[in-house]
Amino acid sequence: MVGVAAGSNEHSMSSTKNPMIKYMLKTRENHARSQKYDYSHVFRRKTRFEMFRLSVIAMAIEFAYAAETSFVSPILLQIGIDHKLMTMAWGVSPIIGFFISPLLGSLSDRCTLNWGRRRPIITFLSVGILLGLILVPWGKDLGILLGDIGYNVTTTSNLSAMNEGLAAALISNEVDSAEGPLPSNFKFAAILTILGMVMLDLDADTCQTPARTYMLDVCIPEDQARGLTTFSLLAGFGGTIGYAIGGINWEKTKFGAALGGNIPTVFGMVTVIFIICYFVTITTFREIPLNLIERDEMLKPLSASAIKKEISKKNNAIYYIKETDVLELQNATAQKNYNTMTPMGSYQNGISPSKEITDKSKEPSQSNNNNSMAIELDECVDTPITLAKYLKSIFIMPTSMRILALTNLLCWMGHVTYCLYFTDFVGEAVFKGDPTALPGTDAAQLYEAGVRFGCWGMSVYALSCSIYSIAVTKLRKLLGTKVVYITGIVYYGVGMLILAIWPTKWGVIVFSTSAGILYGTIFTIPYILVANYHAKDCVSTSLLLFITKFYSIGIFFAHL
């Protein structure tokens, strides 16, 4: 028998080395195994392969992001949508997501399907991603079938047997005109492509949250940090390889020529990868339905807050736990395991308080302290965050927080500018191409070559972001949080300034690292500043960064 005080070793609350937590996990694991469906995996450690399966959908989402940010802007320009309208089209998804994302989160939390709470939402959003991956590259082909009197810019040089006659006839009808085929003829193509872009961007962005939550729900607290690390690493890998795929000239390969060129090939590969990764993740573990969780306290995931509440309720009690050979009974029922682990009477949760401890717990001060601790924990853990509170927290905040939020907003504006327009910037400013030029002309070929080269730059961006995210903790300890924050953002501003003034190929590769460092910075440091710094420090830091970002964003927008 092993005895451990409930109030001891609080520093290892989320560690399975704590005998009390081992008991709590094993009791719940055996109880979950006795259900109609086996849910015991929720209360055990996960292997590396299981972590990989849970996180691989993050890689798939980043593949979709890479294809979207690399080619959507060039596609929209090629079908006659100018830069201003293209920017407005990009703004549709964030506006919808601002209102839809909280509602989907609430719906996921309250989903009562037997399939679980997270996987139905992941599936719904994944269907939207797949539809977007189909509509974006093939929107022009579908538009021609619906009556557009244009030509397919991306596949004219690699016509498929099915639409060769149609495209040839369309081109021959337009070739006699002085101006040639006008991109404005792609009316249905523009509608379908923008619809696909909105679906792809919105669903890919929203799908990350339920995918991450699904992983956390089926992991014990000790595995969650490892799971998040795996999630981030696979996301970085997906971005790096996804952009690199776009940098290859697939038209020179038989595989790419058969699929119709660079853009259809890239999106086709991403679609297949996404489907495979979706099924790998979604079939990893069965979720416990919400109805079972609400009915059975023993089926609730053992979170860190639940452990704290258990400690506060049973403070100074002694847990008596059988040794490992008894705990690891495989074929016993949950009730038999529970009775085996409950010594000295049928105390709930297998706790046997000694007489001395029981007498002390009757003292008013001791009882009041324990009760107040439990109340505080309940208030912290169980208080729901409503939509009204969510919106109120956005518009009503301290001055220092408002400035920091504005700074973060400008940082994101600079980052999104890079992501959405970089390949077009390289195609036009660096390679001197023209997205509206006729297929096969020098201007069109230069633009397509620039887009592919821009993909290599964005691959460097994704790789540098992954490396920087791993090193940012050590840099923060070495240099300080504010120094790392300011340096990362200033480096991005200087890099974009040099690239705007001297748009060169070497600059595309070298200064793409600044975008990766910025992305890694704004995903970590602002949250640390909010948690650790006083209001005065936040104001002084944020004002400097506000000026820096305003300057760099203005230059980059002006150049485009």
Up-side HSE of residue 480: CA atoms within 13 Å toward CB?
7
Q: State residue 535's pLDDT score.
A: 41
**Number of separate domains in the chain:** 2
End-to-end CA distance of the chain: 72
CA distance 162 to 184: 24
Those residues whose C-beta lies under 8 Å from the C-beta of residue 229, and which sit 6 or more positions away, are none
- How far is CA 240 from its chain centroid? 15
If one counts every other C-beta atom within 10 angstroms of the C-beta of residue 308, the result is 18
- Joined tokens for residue 299: 């089926």
In a domain, 177, yes or no: no
CB atoms within 10 A of CB 407: 26
pLDDT in tens, the chain (560 residues): 444 444 444 445 555 567 777 777 777 777 778 888 888 787 788 888 999 999 999 999 999 999 998 899 888 888 888 888 888 888 888 889 888 888 888 888 888 888 888 999 999 999 999 999 999 999 888 888 887 675 544 444 443 443 444 344 344 444 444 344 445 577 888 899 999 999 999 999 899 889 988 988 888 878 888 888 888 888 889 999 999 999 998 988 888 888 888 899 999 999 999 999 999 999 998 888 888 888 877 777 776 666 676 666 655 454 444 444 444 444 444 444 444 444 433 333 333 333 443 444 444 444 444 444 443 444 444 455 566 766 666 677 777 777 777 888 888 888 888 888 899 999 999 999 888 888 778 888 899 999 999 999 999 999 998 888 888 878 888 888 888 888 888 999 999 999 989 889 999 999 999 999 998 888 777 777 776 654 444 444 444 444 444 444 444 443 44
- Domain-ending residue, one of 350, 381, 412: 381
Burial of residue 248 (CB within 10 Å: 0-12, 13-18, 19+) is middle
Q: Is residue 279 part of a domain?
A: no
From the centroid of its chain, how far is CA 291? 28
Tell me whether residue 372 is in a domain: yes
Distance CA 113, CA 259 (A): 39
Q: Is 11 exposed, middle or buried (0-12, 13-18, 19+ CB in 10 A)?
A: exposed
For the packed helices 525-532 and 512-522, what is the interaxial angle rounded to 10 degrees? 30
Q: Do 409 and 554 share a structural domain? A: yes
The residue from 353, 381, 409 where one domain ends is 381
Q: Is 504 among the domain residues?
A: yes
Q: Cβ of 193: how many Cβ atoms within 10 Å? A: 27
Crossing angle between the packed helical segments 399-425 and 481-501, to the nearest 10 degrees: 30
Model confidence pTM above 0.75 = no
Residue 29 within a domain: yes
**Which two tokens mark 476?**
């923060």
Predicted local confidence at residue 4, as pLDDT: 42
Beta-bridged to residue 351, according to DSSP, are 319
Environment class of 508 (CB within 10 Å of its CB; exposed 0-12, middle 13-18, buried 19+): buried
Q: Are residues 346 and 399 in the same domain?
A: no
Residue after which a domain boundary falls, among 337, 361, 381 = 381
Give me 500's structure tokens: 């705007």
Q: Are 454 and 422 in contact (CB under 8 A)?
A: yes
469 within some domain: yes
How far apart (Å, rounded) are the C-alpha atoms in residues 382 and 547?
Answer: 41
- Between vectors from CA 133 to CA 130 and to CA 135, what angle results, nearest 5°? 105
Write the CB contacts of 152 (distance below 8 Å, at least 6 apart in sequence).
140, 141, 144, 163, 167
413 vs 496: CA distance, rounded Å: 13
Neighbours of 45 (CB within 10 A): 13
DSSP H or E stretch at residue 489: helix 481-501
User: HEC states along 305-335?
Assistant: HHHHHHHHHCCCCEEEECCHHHHCCCCCCHH
Nearest to 280 by CA among 42, 43, 60: 60
Cα distances (angstroms) measured from residue 434 to each of 5, 88, 208, 219, 264? 73, 21, 35, 51, 20
Q: How far apart are CA 462 and CA 66, in angstroms?
A: 9
Q: Which two tokens stand for residue 462?
A: 């994704």
376 and 444 housed in the same domain: no
Which pairs with CB-CB distance under 8 Å and at least 24 residues apart come from 213-218? 213/108, 213/118, 214/54, 214/116, 214/118, 214/119, 214/122, 214/281, 214/287, 215/54, 215/55, 217/42, 217/117, 217/118, 217/287, 217/301, 218/41, 218/42, 218/46, 218/54, 218/284, 218/285, 218/287, 218/301
| DSSP secondary structure code for residue 288 in this structure | P
CA distance 433 to 131: 30
Does 519 share its domain with 539? yes
39, 286 Cβ separation under 8 angstroms: yes
Tell me how many degrees the CA angle 270-557-453 measures, rounded to the nearest 5: 40
Are 556 and 504 contained in the same domain? yes
Are 376 and 466 in the same domain?
Answer: no
Asked if residues 310 and 24 have their Cβ atoms less than 8 Å apart, the reply is yes
User: What CATH number has the domain bearing residue 405?
Assistant: 1.20.1250
Taking a C-beta distance cutoff of 8 angstroms, is the pair 125, 132 a contact? no
What does the H/E/C string look like for 123-167?
HHHHHHHHHHHHHHHHHHHHHHHHCCCCCCCCCHHHCCCCCHHHH
State residue 352's pLDDT score. Answer: 38
pLDDT at 469: 81
Its domain, for residue 359, covers: 2-39+289-381
Percent of residues in the chain assigned helix, strand, coil, to nearest 5: 75, 0, 25
- Which of 85, 24, 40, 69 is CA-nearest to residue 330? 40
Q: Are residues 444 and 538 in the same domain?
A: yes
Asked if residue 324 and residue 403 are part of one domain, the reply reads no
Whether 295 and 413 share a structural domain? no
What number of residues does the chain have? 560
Question: Same domain, yes or no, for 357 and 479?
Answer: no
Is residue 398 in some structural domain? Answer: yes
423 and 352 in one domain?
no
Whether 471 maps to a domain, the answer reads yes
- In terms of domains, do 353 and 433 share one? no
